[in-house]
Amino acid sequence: MSRKIAVKLIMELRANGLSQSSIARSRHMSKTSVNEVFRIAEEQHLSYDDIKDQSSGEVYHLFFPHKHAEETIYTLPDYDYVHNELTKVGVTLKILWQEYRDQCTATSHLGVGYTKFCNGYRDEVARKKLTNHLTHKPGVNAEVDWSGKTQKLIDQVTGDEIKVYLFVGTLPYSQYTYVEPCLDMKQNTWLNCHVHMYEYFGGSTVRTVCDNL
């Protein structure tokens, strides 16, 4: 089943003068979906003023009555609850989807699949402009990465410039940080940096979290 389109939001942005491409790009929506809303609005001579006092569900039903009829057979997730739960340590969308499906099964309701669950949450975040404040707990994570621009040192004998890469490891709760300059970013160097970091910290965290290496 296709992802539910945020019709009212698209119409509001359209009324504010945003183009189809701008809406799709800024809200991470399918350009095809945005184009479809524009097309139906023009065919039915609908403007944002015509639908601004209606709920998002009512506007969606107005634009896509057949899709609405199909989707009402499903019990949709409570995305406000999902968003709040994701602030907790160890909670993922997969875990919350499984919890949601178990609840649907227990109450004999039909739940949406994992892909639709995730897409629906993404749309809700875009529609409400939601953000999560990250709260770190002591000793849970160590965040590691190769950081910043490539540095250099000068060989005092030959005068040659040698590239230097900075390994950085941080405990996000305290911002306690370990930095080690390295001559390469090979696997053994990476692993040794972790050994040295945890020796410096005097222990290890529950998880080691790296960025896009």
Whether residue 80 sits in one domain with residue 52: no
User: Is 1's pLDDT higher than 50?
Assistant: no
- Per-residue pLDDT, 203: 93
pLDDT for 170-183, tens place per residue? 998 888 999 999 99
Mean pLDDT of the 6-13 span: 93
d(Cα 105, Cα 113) in Å, to the nearest integer?
A: 13
User: Residue 129: which region, alpha, beta or left (left: phi > 0; alpha: psi -120 to 50)?
Assistant: left
Domain with 130 in it:
74-135
Confidence of residue 2 (pLDDT cuts 50, 70, 90): very low
10 token code pair: 């698209």
64 or 47: which leads in pLDDT: 47
Whether 34 contacts 82, CB under 8 Å: no
Whether residue 108 sits in one domain with residue 67: no
User: Is 125's pLDDT higher than 60?
Assistant: yes
The greatest distance separating any two alpha carbons of the chain, rounded to the nearest whole angstrom, comes to 79
Whether residue 61 sits in one domain with residue 89: no
Instruction: Identify the burial level of 59 via C-beta atoms within 10 angstroms of its C-beta, where 0-12 means exposed, 13-18 middle and 19 or more buried.
Output: buried
pLDDT for 181-193, tens place per residue? 999 999 999 999 9
d(Cα 48, Cα 14) in Å, to the nearest integer?
A: 8
Lowest mean per-residue pLDDT among 46-50, 140-144, 146-150? 146-150
Query: For the chain, how many structural domains are there in total?
Result: 3
pLDDT for 84-118, tens place per residue? 888 776 788 889 999 999 988 888 888 888 888 88
192 or 126: which leads in pLDDT: 192
128 or 2: which leads in pLDDT: 128
Whether residue 111 sits in one domain with residue 163: no
User: Is 38's pLDDT higher than 70?
Assistant: yes
Average pLDDT value for the chain = 85
Whether residue 17 sits in one domain with residue 58: yes
49 or 212: which leads in pLDDT: 49
**For the chain, first and last CA: distance in Å?**
35
Whether residue 69 sits in one domain with residue 80: no
- Per-residue pLDDT, 129: 62
Strand order in the sheet with 161-171: 176-182, 161-171, 141-154, 207-210
Domain final residue pick, 115, 135, 155: 135
DSSP assignment of 143-205: EEEEEEEEEEEE-TTT--EEEEEEEEEEETTTTEEEEEEES---HHHHHHHHHHHHHHHTS--
- Per-residue pLDDT, 7: 92
Whether residue 79 sits in one domain with residue 68: no
Whether 149 contacts 165, CB under 8 Å: no
Mean pLDDT of the 8-23 span: 93
- Per-residue pLDDT, 76: 80
Domain final residue pick, 91, 120, 135: 135
Whether residue 103 sits in one domain with residue 166: no
Whether residue 110 sits in one domain with residue 174: no
Whether residue 202 sits in one domain with residue 151: yes
Whether residue 61 sits in one domain with residue 4: yes
The b-or-e profile of 8-18 (16+ CB within 10 A means b, else e) is: bbbbbbbeeeb
pLDDT for 156-168, tens place per residue? 889 899 999 999 9
pTM for the whole structure: 0.40
Q: Of all helices (H) and strands (E), which one includes residue 56?
A: helix 56-63
Nearest one of 44, 62, 52 to 15, comparing CA atoms: 52
Whether residue 8 sits in one domain with residue 69: yes
